[in-house]
Amino acid sequence: MKLVVVTAGLTQPSSTRLLADRLAEAVRRRLDETDTRVIELRELAVDIANSFVTGFPNARLREAIEAATEADGLIAVTPIFSGSYSGLFKSFFDVIDNTALAGKPVLIAATGGTARHSLALEHALRPLFAYLRAVVAPTAVYAASEDWGGGHDSFTDGLGERIERAAEELADLLLRRTPRARAEPEEVVPFEQQLAALRPPD
């Protein structure tokens, strides 16, 4: 089972990466064997910008795109800026073919300075992945600054429960997902044979 985590945090350390790691660990606990790959978009920012200018991803960006599109499931986490996902986050998914994530289970999550921005998950992230025809887990996880301390559980009051619920839903989607059928190669009919089939019988 291949799980890819896409995180768009800009700082190091990053609360966005921290949330991504918590979600990935919660999903891994529910699956027998999971190969997890984390894609830090901060490290690909220049590659993504160059891809828009040239029209072609370089080798490093192409490898990240292939990892995301070939994974069994995705965890996508972004910081919230001005009430929506970050430009870097959106740009990465803009360079991916808009059919490449069709049917793929995705868990969406975000971080922000205040809980007032939590609805960005529903009015920005969920529509983005609906457009890409991914299968988005029902629970989206938002972590505001106040969620990272002083709670009654090992993370904070409420955040831990949301992480566990979202992880359970993604794991269930992954376990129930029907693997894509491998396309059978089309039989190539020689041109001469096609022409012969068009000739009227003698």
Nearest CA to 2 among 201, 187, 177, 200?
A: 177
Q: What is the pTM assigned to this prediction?
A: 0.82
- Residue 6 near residue 43 (C-beta atoms within 8 A): no
Architecture of the domain defined by 2-198:
3-Layer(aba) Sandwich (3.40)
Q: In tens digits, what is the pLDDT along the chain, a chain of 202 residues? A: 899 999 999 988 899 999 999 999 999 999 988 899 999 999 999 999 999 999 899 999 999 999 999 999 999 999 999 889 999 999 999 999 999 999 999 999 999 988 888 889 999 999 999 999 999 999 999 999 888 765 544 444 589 999 999 999 999 999 987 555 444 556 777 777 777 777 776 6
Taking the C-alpha atoms of residue 41 and residue 139, their distance in angstroms, rounded to an integer, is: 23
